[in-house]
Amino acid sequence: MSTKPLIAAKGLSVHYALRGSLIGPKPYVGAVENVNIEIEAGSFFGLVGESGSGKTTLGRAMLRAAPISRGDVLFDDGEVSYSLKNLGKKELKDYRKRAQLIFQDPYAALSPRMTVRDIIAEPLEVMGLTKNRAETDARVREIAAKCRLNVEHLRRFPHAFSGGQRQRISIARALVSGPKFIVADESVAALDVSIQADVLNLLKAIQQEMGLTFLFISHDLSVVAHVCDHVAVMYLGRIVETAPTRTLFSGPRHPYTKALLSAIPSLDPDDRGKAQKLEGEIPSPTNPPPGCKFQTRCPVAIDRCRVEEPVLEAAGAEHKVACHRWQELSD
């Protein structure tokens, strides 16, 4: 594994305009604010947070599927090097081959009117990656076999498949153009546990075999703990903590990360009611609180937190946290 980042967000912000008055500054929602992350080539990078934390928007911005308002995303796979903010039409087309998305809902993501073969072949045809039908078929069969779909499956329509099989079709479609970078947005959230384990094992195997880099977006921390090498925790558009998976789960520093971890229902029936509970809900990004964005729910907030926004600072090797009090609270 190299240590060079394949893709990196530099001070990335994504703003969406709101309807406002004609005069004065234009109001906007800061869905993602000043995010800096580096994803190493060949790694499985997890992004966690509650709904409304901006994790999907960040994932989309890294695919140039959401507008980049400030900052930039840099992509470098050794063959090409792109600044996503300033991509030309031709470059963007090329980038689409190199970066792909796997969706959450395998029922909504596949056209019911196309055979599985056509669904997987479509990206090849649209991008003009193959010269003739025979070449397309060969490529589709090769990728389908990797995702454990057989030739018989390719002739059928999506309705004939279960959720787990459909998700394998979505994965095959995302992989067929030979991408380097994959964003998997809640890709196992809609699946039953028995199937979820199967799809996670498949993603992991494919990642190692093809040397892919994954941005794995999930709200389920136990899933992230099992598959990811590195994790970033988001809250209201900001990264509040980032660390190698083991470090983060064994020694979380940010009060939000701690609360998220303790909110996972334990499998031990005698472990009831010990969890540290968070009050309230994530504030609306149209009206974020001043200072630290987490201060309205933070159990350890002090006056300073209500006025001054903390910045990400080093808390150990590759471990960063954005909290005024992490040092005194970790003693």
List 92, 151, 263, 302, residue binding other proteins (CB under 8 A): 263
List 267, 287, 303, 328, residue binding other proteins (CB under 8 A): 267
The answer to the question of residue 264 lying near other proteins (CB under 8 A) is yes
b/e 171-192 (16+ beta carbons within 10 angstroms → b): bbbbbbbebbbbbbbbbbebbe
List 97, 225, 229, 306, residue binding other proteins (CB under 8 A): 225
Q: Which stretch binds other proteins (CB under 8 A): 62-70, 106-114, 160-168, 309-317?
A: 160-168
Closest CA to 51 of 181, 220, 213: 220
Report the site for other proteins in 96-155 (rule: CB under 8 A). none
From the CB of residue 168, how many other CB atoms can be counted at a distance below 10 Å?
A: 25
Looking at the Cβ atoms of 98 and 253, the one nearer to other proteins is 253
DSSP β-ladder status, 230-235 and 238-244: antiparallel
The encoded tokens of residue 290 equal: 């001043």
The answer to the question of residue 304 lying near other proteins (CB under 8 A) is no
SS3 69: coil
Q: What is the x/- site pattern for other proteins, positions 42-81, by CB under 8 A?
A: --------xx------------------------------
The answer to the question of residue 319 lying near other proteins (CB under 8 A) is no
The answer to the question of residue 330 lying near other proteins (CB under 8 A) is no
The answer to the question of residue 226 lying near other proteins (CB under 8 A) is yes
Distance from C-alpha of 318 to C-alpha of 311, rounded to nearest angstrom: 15
Closest CA to 219 of 208, 239, 234: 234
The answer to the question of residue 163 lying near other proteins (CB under 8 A) is yes
SS3 50: coil
List 277, 303, 314, 328, residue binding other proteins (CB under 8 A): 277
The answer to the question of residue 241 lying near other proteins (CB under 8 A) is no
Q: Which stretch binds other proteins (CB under 8 A): 4-12, 14-22, 39-47, 270-278?
A: 270-278
Amino acid at 311: V
Q: Which stretch binds other proteins (CB under 8 A): 10-18, 31-39, 60-68, 245-253?
A: 245-253
Please give the size of the binding site for other proteins, defined by CB under 8 A: 45
213 in Cβ contact with 77 (< 8 Å) = no
H-state helical runs in the chain = 55-61, 89-98, 116-127, 133-146, 151-154, 163-175, 193-210, 221-227, 245-250, 255-263, 303-307, 326-329
End-to-end CA distance of the chain: 34
The answer to the question of residue 192 lying near other proteins (CB under 8 A) is yes
The answer to the question of residue 259 lying near other proteins (CB under 8 A) is yes
Q: Which residues here bind other proteins, judged by CB under 8 A?
A: 50-51, 162-165, 192-198, 200-201, 219-223, 225-226, 245-246, 249, 259-261, 263-273, 275, 277-279, 281-282
